[in-house]
Amino acid sequence: MQRHNEPSSALSQAAYERERLENLHPASWHNPQPAARYNLVVIGAGPAGLAAARGAVGLGAKVALIERNLLGGDCLNVGCVP
Ligand SMILES: Cc1cc2nc3c(=O)[nH]c(=O)nc-3n(C[C@H](O)[C@H](O)[C@H](O)COP(=O)(O)OP(=O)(O)OC[C@H]3O[C@@H](n4cnc5c(N)ncnc54)[C@H](O)[C@@H]3O)c2cc1C
């Protein structure tokens, strides 16, 4: 059985980590030009912010979602999932 800290495990962990960061904060990301008005501005793209933004967009609102770090917040990045 392979141990968690063996080299191939570390390599696959690094590949996973690269893919995770590329999904949550793509290197090619550029902030969009802000619109003049929004119906809702959500600060923080953790589970609460993502749900609020998605729900509002589903109702037809124009939404700005502002995140200073990684999409997904604590739950996806440090808490529930990793
Ligand atoms: C170690 C750990 C383990 C956990 N395990 C579980 C679990 O197993 N099951 C479970 O249900 N819950 C778990 N939780 C709790 C879960 O992570 C939180 O309930 C959940 O993340 C809260 O979501 P949130 O959107 O309110 O806040 P957060 O996830 O904290 O997201 C807030 C976001 O706002 C951003 N932000 C903050 N201030 C600003 C600003 N001024 N400008 C721009 N962006 C900003 C942050 O960068 C972050 O991305 C765990 C938490 C931790 C810390």
Task: With respect to residue 2, please indicate whether it lies within any of the assigned structural domains.
Answer: no
Mutate which of 68, 74, 76 for ligand 1 pocket (most atoms within 8 A of beta carbon): 74
- Ligand 1 contact, 42 CB (< 6 A): no
For residue 8, name the pLDDT band (cuts at 50, 70, 90): confident
Ligand 1 geometric centre to CA of 80 (Å): 9
- How many angstroms from the chain centroid is the CA of residue 12? 21
Task: With respect to residue 69, please indicate whether it lies within any of the assigned structural domains.
Answer: yes
Task: With respect to residue 5, please indicate whether it lies within any of the assigned structural domains.
Answer: no
CB 37 within 8 A of CB 61: no
For residue 10, name the pLDDT band (cuts at 50, 70, 90): confident
Q: 66 lies in which domain range?
A: 37-74
In this prediction the pTM is 0.87
Total domains, the chain? 1
pLDDT per residue over 29-39, tens digit each? 999 999 999 99
Task: With respect to residue 65, please indicate whether it lies within any of the assigned structural domains.
Answer: yes
Task: With respect to residue 41, please indicate whether it lies within any of the assigned structural domains.
Answer: yes
- Ligand 1 contact, 67 CB (< 6 A): yes
CB 42 within 8 A of CB 49: yes
Task: With respect to residue 20, please indicate whether it lies within any of the assigned structural domains.
Answer: no
